[in-house]
Amino acid sequence: MWTEGLHRLAGGEPVVTSIEAAFPEQVTEICRRCLREPTRQRGYFDYPVRDEVFNFAIDVIAEYGNVSDITLLRVWTLRSDTGKWALRAIAKREEVGPLTAASG
């Protein structure tokens, strides 16, 4: 795994290995935009499995979003490929509520 050598880095602070943990508000907003306009999603490389991108976006919103994201997530419950992810995200948002790092 690529993270094996991280313990050798200088400094006493833990290494952040996920972009969403380092920049939760910014990444959450990017993920909202991804789900609002799924046909506009393009990357540097052709990514054949777009559902993985959408599931990642749903997971980020589940973790860092707020209750206002539930309406957006409900749209994604109707798709067979993302429905389970979206339902879990909605449950988490309802459980956690608006008190998150990216609430507002």
Contact at 8 Å (CB) between 83 and 76?
A: yes
> Is residue 37 helix, strand or coil?
coil
47 domain-assigned: yes
9 domain-assigned: no
**Cα angle value 74/80/83 (rounded, 5°):** 35
What predicted TM-score, i.e. pTM, was given to this entire model? 0.75
Percent over 70 (pLDDT), the chain: 70
88 has a pLDDT exceeding 80: yes
Per-residue confidence (pLDDT) for residue 4, from 0 to 100: 57
Contact at 8 Å (CB) between 102 and 66?
A: yes
8 has a pLDDT exceeding 50: yes
30 domain-assigned: yes
20 domain-assigned: no
For 1-104, where are the alpha helices, taking DSSP H only?
Answer: 19-22, 24-36, 50-64, 70-76, 83-96
Q: Render pLDDT for 30-73 as a digit per residue (tens, 0 to 9).
A: 999 999 998 887 665 566 677 788 999 999 999 999 999 999 99
19 domain-assigned: no
66 domain-assigned: yes
Per-residue confidence (pLDDT) for residue 40, from 0 to 100: 81
11 domain-assigned: no
Residue 22: which residues within 8 A CB-CB, separation 6 or more?
16
18 domain-assigned: no
Phi, psi for 11 (deg, rounded to 5) = 105, 155
Domain that holds residue 72: 25-96
The total number of structural domains that make up the chain: 1
